[in-house]
Structures are given as C-alpha cells and as structure tokens.
Amino acid sequence: MEPSRSQRAFLIVIDSVGAGAASDAAAYGDEGADTLGHTAQAVGGLHLPNLEKLGLGNIHKLEGVKPVTGPLAQVTKLNEKSVGKDTMTGHWEMMGVYTTEPFITFTDTGFPAALIKELEEKTGHPVIGNVAASGTEIMNELGEEHLKTEAMIVYTSADSVLQILANEETFGLEELYRCCEIAREITMKPEWRVGRVIARPFIGKKKGEFVRTANRHDYALRPPRNVLDELKDHGLDVIAIGKINDIFDGQGITRAVHSASSVQGMEQTIVVAGEAFNGLCFVNLVDFDAKWGHRRNPVGYAKELEAFDQKLGELMPLIKPGDVLMITADHGNDPTFEGTDHTREKVPFLKYLPGEEGGVVPEGSGFSVIGEYLRRLFIEE
C-alpha cells in the first residue's frame, strides 16, 4: 500500500527521564519521585539550552532550566494508563497497546527451581546466581566461577527480566544467544511470563577486569498489533534505533540500527535525519536508565542529560518544515530515590514542528496520544 503523503517523524525516548510522581505513584511506593527535578537539585542545576528553548522548563521546575517565552515546541506531561512501570509497558502504550496485568517479577525469590532445572536441561549448562542483583556486581562476584565451570550467571532485577551473563570470548556469543532463545521459550509459560530475556555478554579474565560489551540482546514478548504495524502496512519506513527493535520483537520495523550508547544513538539519529525517508524514526536512549538510574548515580545522569542536549542541538537544524520531532520518556528512574527500581512518574512530551507555534498544552492521559498522532499524520486523511 502506498503512503498517503510524504512526511518524516522522529520520536526519541529518553529512557527513564520522568518528570515528577504520577497521580498513582503511591500505589507503586513512588510518592515523591522526580527523576528530572531531583537530578538537577543533586548537581546544583542542569545546563540544557536546547531543551530549555523547546520548553522543558515551562512544564517542570528544574534548577538551571528556565521557563521561556514562546517555547519552540508544544510541551506537556503524559500520564501512563497501563499497569506497571517498565520499558515495554511504556513503549507499547505509546503505540496503542495497554498492559492491564503487570509482567511477572522474581525480585524477592529468584526464579523457581522448576524453571532453572528446565533451563539447565535444555541448554546443557548449569546455572549460578539466580538472585536479583546489579549486573556489574554479580559479574565481579561470579565471573571467575563462570570462567572455570561455564555455568551461566542468571539474575533478575526489579523489572520483569531474566538476564544471562556470560563471557563472550570463552562461552561464546552465539552460544549465549542460543541459551537466551531457550530461556525466552521457557518463560512464555503463563506462570513464568517475564517481559524480557536479556543476553549480557562480558569480557575479561579475572575479577576487577570484567567489562560488559555492547553485544547485549533483548528477547521481548511479541506485542499485539499496534501503530508500528499500521505504518509498515501502509508502505512507510519504520526505522528503529537502539532498543526499539528488541522492545517490539522486530514487529512493525522496516530497518533496525543497534546502538552501543545513548550518544551513539543520537549520532545515528543525526545520520538518519540527513536521509530522505518517509515515515517514523523511533529512538530509544537507554544509558540514562541502565547506567545511571538503576545505579542511583545522579551525577552520571546529569552528564548524560547534558550530552543528549548537545547532540539535540546538532539534530534540530536537520528537522525541516514538514518534519516533526517528539521527545518523551517511558517511565521514571529517580537516581536519588530509595532502592534500584524504576519510579512511577509522569513523562515530558515535547513536540517540535519547525515554523509552527509552540506552547504549553494540557496534560495528556495515556502515552497512546503519541501513536494516535502518528496515525493521523501518516494514515488518516
């Protein structure tokens, strides 16, 4: 089916950059969370000139980021409707899929013995770990044992994930991926339904030298039909940068680009912005969440925000009249909050259309306003 019109849309998800506790945050134990606000306070103010011009300071009080007269973007906050506060839930809702039952987590107990037994039998490898842990910490704790025994390091987190950590030089990258595919099949069972299985490769020969590599791969549940499918079915480009292809299990994607970092993800987006395409460039920038939010590091988080803003300054001149640039987040992860879990927060939504007037608009109910806008832009006459 031929596209109805020529248009380019860029949707950038700054993973975990929440903008204050959601109305139902107390139900999640997240009352008072504020990823952006608390990060700015922790470092004595943020320097985000491009986000400031777009109007970020007009919708959220941020030390160092002022409200401006005549913001370049239409700006607001969005409230998640789905149950949960993870990456898949947030991204799926943007494309019109509401999650009514949260994905299963195994944070407190580890995975059931029956699941681990089946995983060992089907992969041919013993399992060590099976706890909720920081990936870097469990890598240093069990890395040497893994090298000696080739046992898979299995761990989880506050999210609905089963992660397998293995040395890509000795265990082998393809073998790790094979084992993760088996784990994905096992965890499709309703009683063990996890949102994602994640391959976590690392290199190094001894404790203190272990380093995770960029060859991470996520095996997500396949989403129901959504706006991405509709765009693809109408002959439009759907270019996925970063984790987007994994989050949607490749569904509705016409081209996937792997990113080794959030800065590289922005550099890849800048390259795509120099191309003639017709459709959506959908970007996830994960380092905010994975490197800084979960590790409760507001200084790192602030530096990542400022690096993003710098790259945003390079991208904006490439957004031409007729294009649209949208910036948002999928949940919060307040680096000053207790624990290491995501935080249930509102998210900023900035929509920049060159040549069109910006301003503050009423808060939206549901992230799906993004998918609805894309449908109107590309499909509906």
Q: How confident is the model at residue 6 (pLDDT cuts 50, 70, 90)?
A: low
As annotated, the binding site includes: 15, 289, 294, 330-331, 342
3-class state of residue 170 by DSSP: helix
pLDDT averaged over every residue in the chain: 95
d(CA 135, CA 29): 24
Give pLDDT tens digits for 58-86.
999 999 999 999 999 999 999 999 999 98
3-class state of residue 142 by DSSP: helix
Give pLDDT tens digits for 98-143.
999 888 889 889 999 999 999 999 999 999 999 999 888 999 999 9
Give pLDDT tens digits for 322-366.
999 999 999 999 999 998 889 999 999 999 999 999 999 999 889
- The answer on pLDDT for 184 being more than 90 is yes
pLDDT at 377: 95
Q: How confident is the model at residue 381 (pLDDT cuts 50, 70, 90)?
A: low
Contact assessment for residue 340 and residue 68, using Cβ atoms and an 8 Å cutoff: no
As annotated, the binding site for Mn(2+) includes: 15, 289, 294, 330-331, 342
List of residues 6+ apart from 368 with CB closer than 8 A:
81, 93, 94, 95, 96, 98
**Which range among 21-30, 154-163, 232-241 shows the weakest confidence by mean pLDDT?**
154-163
Domains, in order of start, for the chain: 8-101+222-378 (3.40.720.10), 113-220 (3.30.70.1250)
Give pLDDT tens digits for 7-48.
899 999 999 999 999 999 999 999 999 999 999 999 999 999
Over residues 220-235, the mean pLDDT reads: 95
pTM of structure: 0.88
Contacts 24+ apart (CB under 8 A), 207-210: 207/140, 207/143, 207/144, 208/140, 210/139, 210/140, 210/143
